[in-house]
Amino acid sequence: MNSFKIHNHTIGSDGCFIIAEIGQGHDGSLGTAHAYIDAVAKAGANAIKFQTHIASAESTPLEQFRINFSKQDNTRYEYWRRMEFTPSQWEGLYDHCREVGIVFLSSPFSEQAVELLDNLGMEAWKIASGEITNLPMLQKIALTGKPILVSTGMSDMEEIQNTLTYLSQYEVPLLLFQTTTAYPCPPEKIGLNNIEAYRNTFGIPVGLSDHSGTVFTGLAAATLGIDMLETHVTFSKDMFGPDVTASITISELAYLVEGIRYIETIQNNPVNKNDISEELKPLKALFAKSIVANHNLESGHILTAEDLAFKKPGTGLAPENVMSLLGRQLNKNIETDRQLSYEDID
């Protein structure tokens, strides 16, 4: 499997690279976009991702709303116009990410957006599911030589293969996201089984782009050793926007990051049962039980099952030795609860 770097993180060997997808969560507010950067950095994600829409370059007034959520935009074209930032504003967002130590990413939806983002120095490209067959834009992206992260939300295996084959001629690093384009995506359609299928079929790093609106999906995917996770994030489930129902909150993001790092610690530290057993011998003596006298016993007494009990601590003969004592004769008096040993019997 081909590994590659994004900033100081090696995709394919340094654990899961976690992207907080803001998308249009800023609702056209530059201040809100900057606020998301600070919040995502504090939550511990590796990167934040926006979407760069330039209405005149990607849309027409004929484009319909996926969800007719907006009471202020008469058309989807108008919505994209309202989501636009200027090149200098994008530069400010990029610089802010560098200041707080996270990677800036944004999905382009036109060749003009590719040029804008490349001029910023963006380190990798996230291809949205609807752009996977946009070969002119993919060519422009591939010629930059930067890693390409491909979503598969609306594609079958043949279309995925065709896109990867097309991109392979440019010898750029590739990662494939398992994605299902549903907002929110129900658990029965998430398709974690495809992660291993992609690894075996394509031999490249694999991730999950999650639209479930829960932390459960990302945690489950982490146990499969995904190389990258993209999850939609919102400040509040009560906010305005088409992707809110498919998003987790900032506090949930922090919990998700903590959980994934916890899972990785487990995965990176396999336990040898013999080694851990030796390490825990002092605890075993504390918690285990020993064979003790169930009542006062006199010297010369022949031991029966009724004479013996099993009580903590486990510093004497273990209960597994009880059969070796039955029918044996004591050579001394034994008081109640005293541990028995082989020196006490003939």
Domain, as residue range, for 290: 274-344
- Residues 295, 214 within the same domain: no
- Residues 106, 215 within the same domain: yes
Domain membership of residue 333 (yes or no) is yes
Domain membership of residue 291 (yes or no) is yes
Mean pLDDT, the chain, integer: 94
Q: Provide the percentage of residues in the chain whose pLDDT is more than 90.
A: 85
pLDDT tens per residue, range 68-123: 666 777 788 888 888 899 999 999 999 999 999 999 999 999 999 999 999 999 99
- Residues 190, 293 within the same domain: no
pTM for the whole structure: 0.88
- Residues 326, 209 within the same domain: no
Domain membership of residue 235 (yes or no) is yes
Domain membership of residue 174 (yes or no) is yes
Contact 174, 142 (CB under 8 A): no
- Residues 258, 298 within the same domain: no
List the CATH number of the domain containing 292: 3.90.1210.10
Quick one: pLDDT at residue 298? 97
